[in-house]
């Protein structure tokens, strides 16, 4: 059985000092580097949040405050600070992340009007990113998932992975939650467990 490691959004803006810093984010980087050193993955994929400056998920582009909610294309959209703007330092992968064995990069959130938490598709389920096609082409059946943020992009990537039929494992030590809403990381764990995602300690 072939397996892949999916590393979600380990980018400067989600790490210490970033525009949308996830508490404890930097602690997961050595853990992820060890996983890559100690395991033989058939593929290692990075996802990269990669927004145009006028992206509709940014509070600043809607005359809103960070933390507000709007309806975007018929679904609720949390208003984020500007983050991971294409071509900026904040959108780059954290320099401590070892990229030697990375085989593929998936960029998401590139369409101004649609946010994309999952590495597989946008939040409206309108466009696929190419991740599923890539993994199927390479005969991958098992996914180990790590990265940021547990309660957003990691959760939705895990749920889609399980739904698409992959054996899906989340490394609890390889992720951190942003917890902009109380208990959202804890609730994300329960939701994943209820949807056949295995949590590895
Ligand atoms: C993410 C909020 C906005 C994430 C991305 O990577 O979890 N969260 N964009
Ligand atoms: Zn984003």
Q: Is the pLDDT of residue 141 over 90?
A: yes
93 within some domain: yes
- Dump pLDDT digits (tens) for 24-67: 999 999 999 999 999 999 999 999 999 999 999 999 999 999 99
User: What is the per-residue pLDDT for 66?
Assistant: 98
Mean pLDDT to the nearest integer, 87-96: 98
74 within some domain: no
Tokens of 160: 């889609």
User: Looking at ligand 1, which atom is closest to the CA of residue 11?
Assistant: 6
Handedness of CA 137, 140, 146, 150 (dihedral sign): positive
Q: What's the CATH number where 8 sits? A: 3.40.50.850
95 within some domain: yes
Handedness of CA 189, 5, 45, 30 (dihedral sign): positive
Total of domains in the chain: 1
CA distance 81 to 86: 15
Q: Going edge to edge, which strands form the sheet with 43-49? A: 104-108, 43-49, 2-8, 140-148, 167-176, 198-200
Give the residue, out of 152, 156, 174, 185, with the most ligand 1 atoms within 8 A of its beta carbon, to mutate for a pocket test.
Answer: 152
Q: Is the pLDDT of residue 113 over 90?
A: yes
Mean pLDDT to the nearest integer, 77-94: 98
From first CA to last CA, the distance across the chain in angstroms is 22
Give the residue, out of 20, 94, 157, 179, with the most ligand 1 atoms within 8 A of its beta carbon, to mutate for a pocket test.
Answer: 20
Mean pLDDT to the nearest integer, 10-37: 98
Distance from the CA of 142 to the center of ligand 2, in angstroms?
26
- Out of 9, 49, 82, 115, pick the active-site residue: 9
Query: Phi first, then psi: what are they for 136, rounded to 5°?
Result: -65, -45
43 within some domain: yes
- In percent, how much of the chain has pLDDT > 70? 100
79 within some domain: no
CA distance 87 to 50: 8
User: What is the per-residue pLDDT for 201?
Assistant: 86
158 catalytically annotated: no
User: Looking at ligand 1, which atom is closest to the CA of residue 147?
Assistant: 6
For the chain, give the mean pLDDT. 98
66 within some domain: no
- 126 lies in which domain range? 2-51+89-200
136 within some domain: yes
Contacts of 43 (CB under 8 A, 6+ apart): 2, 4, 5, 103, 104, 134, 135, 138, 140
Q: Is the pLDDT of residue 127 over 90?
A: yes
72 within some domain: no
């Amino acid at each position: 059985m072939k397996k892949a490691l999916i590393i979600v959004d380990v980018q400067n803006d989600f790490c210490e000092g970033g525009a949308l810093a996830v508490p404890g984010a930097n602690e997961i980087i050595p853990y992820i580097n060890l996983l890559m050193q100690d395991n033989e993955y058939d593929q290692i994929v990075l996802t990269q949040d990669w927004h145009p400056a006028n992206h509709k998920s940014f509070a600043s582009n809607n005359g809103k405050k960070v933390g507000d909610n709007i309806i975007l294309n018929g679904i609720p959209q949390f208003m984020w600070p500007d983050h991971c703007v294409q071509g900026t330092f904040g959108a780059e992968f954290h320099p401590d992340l070892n990229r030697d064995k990375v085989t593929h990069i998936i960029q998401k959130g590139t369409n101004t009007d649609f946010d994309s938490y999952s590495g597989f598709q946008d939040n409206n389920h309108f466009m696929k990113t190419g991740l599923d096609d890539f993994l199927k082409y390479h005969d991958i059946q098992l996914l180990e998932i790590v990265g940021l943020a547990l309660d957003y992009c990691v959760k939705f990537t895990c749920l889609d992975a399980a739904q698409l039929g992959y054996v899906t494992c989340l490394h609890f030590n390889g992720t951190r939650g942003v917890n902009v809403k109380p208990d959202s990381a804890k609730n994300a764990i329960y939701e994943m467990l209820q949807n056949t995602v295995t949590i590895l300690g």
